[in-house]
Each structure stands twice: as C-alpha cells, then as structure tokens.
Amino acid sequence: MTEKLVYITRRERFNAAHRLFREDFSDEKNLEVFGKCSNPLWHGHNYTLLVTVKGPVDPETGFVMNLKVLSSIIKEHVIDKLDHRNINLEVDFMEGKLASTENLAIQIFEVLNKELSSFNGISVHCIKIQETENNFVEYFG
C-alpha cells in the first residue's frame, strides 16, 4: 500500500532589516544590481513565511503533525532569530550569506528540516517567503 502524503502549512510573520550588497562592488554598482535594497544605511521588510511540511497522517490523531508544535519549532529556530533583527549582522544561519530572500528560504529550509528529522516521516516540503506585496520566493530543497 502506498502511503498517503499530506501537506500542511503554517504561516508566520517577521520584520527584519537587511542590505543587499557586495563588498567588492562600489555603492553605484550595488545600487545598479540590488536597487533600493542596497541602501548603505539599511532598511526593513515585513516578511511573511509559509512553511509547508509533508508526511503521512497519523491514524491515532488524524494529523500529519500538531501545528502548534510546528509553530513553536518555527518560532524558536527561525522567527526568534529574525524578528526585529538585522539579517546581515545578527542571524547565525545567514552568516556569510548575501541577505537575499532566496538565501533566506534555503537556510530556513535547512534549519527546519534538521529540527524535524526527529519526527517520523515528516520533512519540509517548501519554504515560501513573501518579501513585499509583489515578490515571493519558494524553495523545495
């Protein structure tokens, strides 16, 4: 019998500052490549994070996993580290990475997949981040 996988999603929000830039670019070149996000004096975004997790339905509970538990894992390992922080300077899992939403999605995927490895059959399916009203990033691992 094939296992029926179900996908569940939890939404969280955080506000954070960042700057997109390369040290080896001039301010003019950074502005050209990264636009307003290259502002040397930082700026912030109100991010929305959608974490989709997949797994079989536990016959005892009818759940893939308890969403309250998922929410507290996301809060502890991701949101508490990002919310009201500077992504370039303060977030351990973004150290040495360009503070783009793409890199954020990859790192959050890795962090959460590791935290969920102790849950039988559960893994991260997708990390989706909305940075602005019109810009979304998705990472499927």
Least distance from C-beta 21 to Ni ion, angstroms?
Answer: 11
Phi then psi for 23, rounded to 5 degrees? -60, -35
C-beta closer to Ni ion: residue 43 or 114: 43
Piece of 33-41, 49-57, 69-77, 85-93 that binds Ni ion (CB under 5 A): 33-41
Q: What are the structure tokens assigned to 60, written together? A: 């005892």
129 binds Ni ion (CB under 5 A): no
Q: Which residues are catalytic?
A: 37, 84, 131
Q: Where are the alpha helices (DSSP H) in the chain?
A: 27-34, 67-74, 80-82, 87-90, 101-115
Binding span for Ni ion by CB under 5 A among 31-39, 53-61, 90-98, 117-125: 31-39
Q: How far apart are CA 44 and CA 51, in angstroms?
A: 21
The rounded distance, in Å, linking the Cα atoms of 45 and 47 is 6
Residue whose C-beta lies closest to Ni ion: 37
Residue 136 CB, nearest distance to Ni ion (Å)?
14
Shortest Cβ 36–Ni ion spacing (Å) = 7
Out of 8, 37, 65, 112, point to the residue binding Ni ion (CB under 5 A): 37
Q: In what order do the strands lie in the sheet with 5-18?
A: 85-86, 5-18, 43-56, 123-130, 136-139
Q: Which spans of this chain sit near Ni ion (rule: CB under 5 A)?
A: 37
